[in-house]
Amino acid sequence: MTHGSNGRPAPGGPGVRATPIPGLLVVDLEVHGDARGWFKENWQRAKMVAAGLPDFSPVQHSVASNGPVGVTRGVHAEPWDKLVSVVAGRVFGAWVDLREGPTFGTSFTLELDEGVGVFVPEGVGNSYQTLTEGAVYSYLVNDHWSPEAEYTMLNLADPSVGIDWPIPLTEAVVSDKDQTHPTLDQVTPIPQDQSRGRVLVLGRDGQLGRALLEAMPAAEGLGREELDLADPAAVEAFDFTGVDVVVNAAAYTAVDAAETEEGRRAAWAANATGVAALARAAVEHGFTLVHYSTDYVFDGTQDTYTEDDPLCPASVYGASKAAGDLTVTVAPRHYLLRTSWVVGAGKNFVSTMADLAERGVDPRVVDDQVGRLTFTTDLAAATTHLLDTGAPYGTYNLTSAGDPASWSDLARKVCEATGHDPDRVTPVTTQEYTAGASGPVAPRPARSVLDLAKIQGTGFEPVDQMAGLTAYLEGRTKP
């Protein structure tokens, strides 16, 4: 177990600082004082989100007034996020990570006054001890208090956590209930995806949907029969009671078929109209919406694309996905993950190339489209990372890292990794490959390289493309 305290911060802000507990953030609040007293912005959404605090959509403000010195409350892990700050006096705070994972039992302590607050993510136990008479602290929470709410508790005096209380607990004012909480070895860690409310995964039967459900085993997977995203009325009528996160892995992905009259309607229904209905539901019900985008929202004429580059799709599929992207951004709590060249369990480019090599077929593969693969396991891991760490909401690029490659480069690597001669792959241009096609062919981005700096800045490191490809082939189950 690790323990840490950064002491009392210098004045100034707003600023947001990390702690040894993932998602637990220290917030420096700028206090303006003169002979009349002082003023501060206790919650200022635009400034604080820009500084790195999650846009956690608080719905309730509560205030705790404490009379004598030494009033000690906790350790309680509540089923919501909260921003704690001091209105008057000084308070000693102690936090313990009670979520499952490598930081379970990690503690952090800090003295709070008017100039410093702490953002406490759901599942992290928190406790406070007053250091002055008449101390008052306030907290904003993103769910309404309920007497039916379930808490995970930890004993204030647990020696394995070793909180160094400024006022010994034998001299402190502690409720009878708080003195009887279990020690850490008796606490059941809170599952990461159960520290939230209900989590729904749409598109459970697709490659990404299956990977997401493996990464979030407590989530509920929904297929088209339970919620048809292409039917806005079905989305509007769906009961989202108790839902905290909706992860949308459902989409129309038949790129070439989308160029037909029937396919165009289907693509826009699922990728744009249905997503707009889902975004409206996110606004109405207050859940976090996770949605997946594509390199096809760009025309492929730039060397690299960042999250801020303007959308410029060249195909019907790309246009329908771009429209969906724009509607997702109206949800206050949203993560939009833009990806490319997705590979997961089942039929995909990599598995097809491996099968052809094993059957003795020498493929012709496009050599003038360049990008990076994205493995569904990595995409699912990035999703849980953003949710669990409370990363700032917004758009994130997520593909494998490493040098970009063409489709033919990757096909050669597949042949080599499966023990076949890579020279069996014949590189061709897109025009040569599509010559004589029996139906419409959608334009593809010539370059699909997405910049990864933003998601790396949250602490997530995508897998290297070639290392991921090797691992995928080693673990592949033939269809």
Q: Which residues are catalytic?
A: 76, 139
Q: How far apart are CA 438 and CA 248, in angstroms?
A: 33
DSSP string, 83-128: EEEEEES-EEEEEEE-BSSTTTT-EEEEEE-TTEEEEE-TTEEEEE
134 conformational bin, left if phi > 0, alpha if psi -120 to 50, beta if neither: left
DSSP string, 294-338: EGGGS-S-SS-B-TTSPP---SHHHHHHHHHHHHHTTSSSEEEEE
Strand, helix or coil for residue 200: strand
Q: How far apart are CA 147 and CA 133, in angstroms?
A: 29
Task: Please give the backbone phi and psi of residue 321, each rounded to the nearest 5 degrees, phi first.
Answer: -70, -40
One-letter amino acid for residue 189 of the chain: P
Strand, helix or coil for residue 428: strand
User: Where do we find the tokens 């139906």?
Assistant: 439
Say which residues have a Cβ less than 8 Å from residue 423's Cβ, sequence separation at least 6.
Answer: 412
Angle at 119 between CA 116 and CA 125, to 5 degrees: 115
CB 110 within 8 A of CB 93: yes
Q: How far apart are CA 364 and CA 434, in angstroms?
A: 11
> Which two structure tokens, joined as six digits, stand for 360?
């003795």
Tell whether the torsion through CA atoms of 138, 332, 217 and 354 is positive or negative.
negative
Say which residues have a Cβ less than 8 Å from residue 421's Cβ, sequence separation at least 6.
Answer: 415
User: Where do we find the tokens 């635009």?
Assistant: 46
| Short-list 85, 79, 241, 83, CA closest to 147 | 79
Q: How far apart are CA 268 and CA 237, in angstroms?
A: 20
CB 106 within 8 A of CB 20: yes
Q: How far apart are CA 127 and CA 209, in angstroms?
A: 38
> Which two structure tokens, joined as six digits, stand for 413?
């690597």
User: Where do we find the tokens 């730039």?
Assistant: 302
